[in-house]
Amino acid sequence: MARRIGVFVCHCGVNIAGVVDVERVAEELRKYPGVAFATTYQYMCSDPGQNLIRQKIEEENLDAVIIAACSPAMHEETFRSVCKEFFNPYRCEMANIREQCSWVHDKKEATEKAIKLVKATVEKLRGNEDLMPIFVPIEKKCLVIGGGIAGIQAALDIADAGYKVILVEKEASIGGRMAQLSETFPTLDCSQCILTPKMVAVARHPNIKLMAYSEVIDISGYVGNFDVKILKKPRYVDEDACTVCGDCEKACPVIIPNEFDMEKKPRKAIYIPFPQAVPSTYTIDREACLGLAPLTCAQCKDACEANAINYDMQPKIVEERVGAIIVATGYDLYDKNKLVEYGYGEDDDIITSLEFERMLSASGPTGGEIIKPSTGKVPKKVVFIQCAGSRDKQHMPYCSSICCMYTAKHALLYKHHVPDGEAYIFYIDIRATGKNYEEFIARVMEEERINYIRGKVAKIYREGDKIVVWGVDTLTGKKVEIKADLVVLAMAIVGRKETKEIAKLLKVAVDDGNFLKESHPKLKPVEALSRGIYFAGCAQSPKDIPAAVAQASAAASKVLAIFSKDKLEKDPLVAVVDEDRCSGCGVCVSICPYGAMQRQPNGKAKCIEALCEGCGTCAAACPSNNIEMRNYKDEQIEKMIEVIV
Amino acid sequence: MKKKIAMYWGAGCGGCDVSLLGIHEKLLDLLDDIEIVFWPCATDFKYEDLEKMPDKSIDVAFYNGAIRTEENEKIAKLLRKKAKVLVAYGSCASEGCVIGLANLYDKKQIFNVVYLQNETTKNEDKVLPKEHTNDLELPEFLPHLKTLEQVVKVDAVIPGCPPPRPVLEEALEALLQGKTNFGKEVALCDECPRKDSKPEKIEIERFYRWHEKEDNGDCFLAQGMICMGPATLAGCQGECISANIPCTGCMGPTPKVKDQGAAMLSAIASLLGDIDEEKEEEIMNSIRDMIGTFYKYRAAKLLPEGRLKDES
Ligand SMILES: Cc1cc2nc3c(=O)[nH]c(=O)nc-3n(C[C@H](O)[C@H](O)[C@H](O)COP(=O)(O)OP(=O)(O)OC[C@H]3O[C@@H](n4cnc5c(N)ncnc54)[C@H](O)[C@@H]3O)c2cc1C
Ligand code: SF4
Ligand code: SF4
Ligand code: SF4
Ligand code: SF4
Ligand code: SF4
């Protein structure tokens, strides 16, 4: 216990001394039991200020120190490092007499309060224990969930830095949505052309273990030490043996729609989602295949010269330990069947933006031709509707942030394909905030002479072979009626439902749009509340490719920062459960925002120190008052309150 | 030598006296070791008998019921004088219990309801109890209900409304061996038969009263039914839970907690999950009778002077 406390009162220029009578604070504290020395100084945080502390600790033989100055959030670290040269850093405390006194009270009140706060800090300090930092070992391997562009980028960054990565993708191939896109705004690069080199790099990278057609089914543990279980679904085709000759596909009698082509193109029960798929291998769709069990069909096996097909393949569970996790599970489109006002999108000639992307793609269902699905003819009039399901309280209240841009791209590409066609875009307003985006929109408006109509569409219905779109042009106030051949809905972007499942495993929160909730919207945009878990891409919020890539690299750099050390050092101000008196009620386990309180097999709660951020939520909620925060024990707090009131 | 035992029934429902009989054959065993010197409910003793006993001649005196009248108070003081060890027996004596909720009102309000306004009361002449009548002296009805400890020093507490059998058996055994420290220190969930059904994360979306939801046999709290188990001392072995009724908290709080109601409220409020304030308020407001739910047994202990003056 501290017996010779030194009190250093900071003027902070006039910030504190202009209001608080700092000399009086020092004088009052000199008289207080346990205080051996008290003084004031202009700027305690300056080098001379820090040296003053060093000098007085030695001269006055101090064994603990209080700095009465600004918020501990600012300088606690500074002063504790000074004290560490002499004694345990937890014998150094700060009393906040700036934010809590000089900045908010008048002279007299501020001084009185400052004296009380410092005295209370003396009481707290006397109850402090000497603590040692907690060290946590790190498994320098990262799990990346989701193999879209975001997951791919994050995996490559970490692997390039020399660390192992496990990339888990639930579909047969990595690539995600970007692989489905045609050309990308604002430069109109071919999406697959810029994506596939990265996909191949993943497949080749010695540090990346790619587990496609797999799902994460269990996650436990904490930063540095997550234990994950990954289910490897059987492809019934040996990935290494398959030469992608396609003989099996030709032989297979089952024809079903291909999800990759938004179900607008057929595929077989044995399939490869798209030619450049990684890993490059065929997969048997268990649901569609006739032959798995009982053996009623084996045409693919008979056709396969490489002998790659094995109907007896079983699901496999792989267990891995990783130090960090990046979630990059991407997005879905809002369900168009929920759009009552647009005829539930049931009409063949009302399609979603992703369906239109596939139509534009040379490898897509129409070989890159734009057609009116119901007739197969070239549509001469196309209406694009932005904000379909976005910015709408009935559906998703937020802006999906990329649809203005891709709709402009769609209209432009349409005009390139059908120069004599007419394109109309209904919009609320145009959000083109990226680099060169506004210029892109201007180009579309001016050079391509696309008809931008500011207003919402009220109704869509079929009349003969036309789709009639009714709306109001809010700029002219006139009613607009367009008889279109094709309507393209720029559907709202939503988080995938799989994201919600992964979030549950990770005990992180998702919002109403199924997007992962970051730790701080401004300062920690790629971090989960729990340490060691990071987000990238559209799993966190709707965004375009450059933003998804940037976020992926940001998440990777956070992981690399963890991996750069051999052990994680952690503040030991954690929660401690009195296990004998813990009833296992589960309150703390349920509410710890960091997932640090965990239930043990005997039902009692235990604080995983590596995860605990010392927030105190659990201590306040435990109905048995059974949790104590280190160096914030009940007796300490009671004494502090006593001094203050 | 046989231990001399006394038991008194103050302001209470009588369940405590019955609970002592409820230990059945164990009571017969006890009778070999004890001599009952005063137990008005079971045997014919008069107050004079008690007055005549030498001071500290009773080994253990049990006081059940709260202190509502002048008479209760007098006997409490007398027992204190005559007994070596004075035990607050049951919730009324130790924390005021259900009748302690009367401390939310003053004497006049209580008399009005009980003797005049009650649907089932027929009192055409509007007679109210009086201390002095022509032929009768009645003890004074005190301004507030008090717990035993608010009147005299108490050496030990047997919690419960009434003390459940396992609690009582352990307490009696300890007391007869001269120990005043007994009982558990952990909350009820620890021994609850439904404990293992708790989900990893309890999240309450709305509260159900017992009859509003079909009980699926899982932890009540996880089902959204308020169960005081997490904030209530163990020992009863989940008597109510075994009868498919959530714990109402009669055993009082665990040792480190003073305000059982506040402890449970803050726990419950924190289980509401990540919702906005408005919704939170709506959910909390759906709890009918906050005080009766969270302070059913402990109002008098926490409000010895009745409701705060400036509030009434
Ligand atoms: C119509 C349209 C046009 C667009 N055009 C452009 C454009 O021109 N330019 C531009 O910059 N952006 C464009 N975008 C946006 C672009 O598609 C996204 O920014 C980008 O694809 C986001 O990548 P991602 O990796 O975050 O998500 P995704 O591409 O969705 O990838 C997520 C991956 O995670 C996998 N996954 C999901 N759940 C799990 C799980 N539980 N376990 C394992 N794997 C899982 C998925 O299968 C998928 O492979 C467009 C979007 C749309 C809708
Ligand atoms: S066994 Fe299955 S995948 Fe192979 S050809 Fe028959 S249906 Fe197609
Ligand atoms: S990006 Fe544009 S079209 Fe998409 S929701 Fe936002 S405003 Fe609407
Ligand atoms: S809240 Fe308290 S009693 Fe309940 S499980 Fe946690 S530590 Fe144990
Ligand atoms: S102090 Fe906060 S982070 Fe630590 S266990 Fe308690 S609730 Fe969790
Ligand atoms: S909250 Fe109630 S039902 Fe649930 S375990 Fe505790 S005592 Fe049992």
Examine the domain organization and report whether A490 and A507 are in the same domain.
no
Strands B141-146 and B67-69: antiparallel
CB contact under 8 A, B264 and A590: no
CATH of the domain at A622: 3.30.70.20
Examine the domain organization and report whether A324 and A217 are in the same domain.
yes
Which helix (H) or strand (E) segment holds residue A552: the answer is helix A545-563
Domain end (from A563, A581, A605): A563
Is residue A482 one of the residues assigned to a domain? yes
Structure tokens belonging to residue A371: 């057609």
> Is the distance from the beta carbon of residue A576 to the nearest atom of ligand 4 less than 6 Å?
no
Closest ligand relative to A507 C-alpha? 5
Examine the domain organization and report whether A359 and A407 are in the same domain.
yes
Looking at this protein, which amino acid is placed at residue A211?
M
Mean pLDDT of chain B: 92
Rounded CA gap, A115 and A107, in Å?
12
Q: Which atom of ligand 2 is nearest to the CA of A291?
A: 1
Examine the domain organization and report whether A386 and A480 are in the same domain.
yes
Residue B311 predicted with pLDDT over 60:
no
Examine the domain organization and report whether A224 and A291 are in the same domain.
no
Could you give the C-alpha distances from B129 to A97, A416, A463, B65, in angstroms and in order? 61, 99, 87, 21
Confidence category of residue B312, pLDDT binned at 50, 70, 90: very low
CA A190 to chain centre: 27
Tell whether B255 lies on the interface with A, counting CB pairs under 8 A. Answer: yes
Domain end (from A470, A494, A518): A494
CB contact under 8 A, A617 and B187: no
Q: What is the pLDDT of residue B43?
A: 83
Residues framing ligand 3 (Cβ under 6 A): A 386-387, 390-391, 399-404, 428, 431, 490
Is residue A26 one of the residues assigned to a domain? yes
Check if the beta carbon of residue B177 is closer than 8 Å to that of residue B194: no
**Domains along chain B with CATH numbers:** 3-99+142-176 (3.40.50.700), 188-302 (no CATH)
Is residue A634 one of the residues assigned to a domain? no
Check if the beta carbon of residue A43 is closer than 8 Å to that of residue A11: yes
CATH of the domain at A423: 3.50.50.60
Is residue A611 one of the residues assigned to a domain? yes
Tell whether A46 lies on the interface with B, counting CB pairs under 8 A. Answer: no
CB pairs under 8 A between A and B: 89
Please count the other Cβ atoms lying within 10 Å of the Cβ belonging to residue A419.
Answer: 8
Among A529, A581, A585, most B C-beta atoms within 10 A, so best to mutate, is A585
Residue A366 predicted with pLDDT over 60:
yes
Check if the beta carbon of residue A228 is closer than 8 Å to that of residue A219: yes
Residues B115-137 have pLDDT tens digits of 999 999 899 999 888 888 888 88
Closest ligand relative to B227 C-alpha? 6
Q: What is the pLDDT of residue B310?
A: 42
258-277 of B, contacting A, C-beta below 8 A: 263-264, 266-267, 270-271, 274
Tell whether B29 lies on the interface with A, counting CB pairs under 8 A. Answer: no
Examine the domain organization and report whether A207 and A323 are in the same domain.
yes
Examine the domain organization and report whether A185 and A325 are in the same domain.
yes
Is residue A639 one of the residues assigned to a domain? no
What length is written for chain A? 645
Residues B218-243 have pLDDT tens digits of 999 999 999 999 999 999 999 999 99
Is residue A259 one of the residues assigned to a domain? yes
Confidence category of residue A624, pLDDT binned at 50, 70, 90: very high
**What is the number of domains present in chain A?**
5
Is residue A478 one of the residues assigned to a domain? yes
CB contact under 8 A, A581 and B256: yes
Please count the other Cβ atoms lying within 10 Å of the Cβ belonging to residue B199.
Answer: 12
Sign of CA dihedral B306, B307, B311, B312: negative
CATH of the domain at A109: 3.40.50
Q: Which atom of ligand 4 is nearest to the CA of A627?
A: 7
Domain end (from A131, A158, A182): A131
| Chain A residues touching B199 at Cβ < 8 A | 586
Examine the domain organization and report whether A510 and A551 are in the same domain.
yes
Tell whether A621 lies on the interface with B, counting CB pairs under 8 A. Answer: yes
Residues A177-215 have pLDDT tens digits of 999 999 999 999 999 999 999 999 999 999 999 999 999
Q: What is the pLDDT of residue A1?
A: 65
For B131: left if phi > 0, alpha if psi spans -120 to 50, otherwise beta; the answer is alpha
Examine the domain organization and report whether A413 and A478 are in the same domain.
yes
Domain membership of residue A473 as a residue range: 331-494
Examine the domain organization and report whether A416 and A399 are in the same domain.
yes
ipTM, interface predicted TM-score of the complex: 0.91
Tell whether B231 lies on the interface with A, counting CB pairs under 8 A. Answer: yes
Examine the domain organization and report whether A197 and A326 are in the same domain.
yes
Is residue A191 one of the residues assigned to a domain? yes
Examine the domain organization and report whether A179 and A210 are in the same domain.
yes
Burial class (CB in 10 A: 0-12, 13-18, 19+), B64: buried
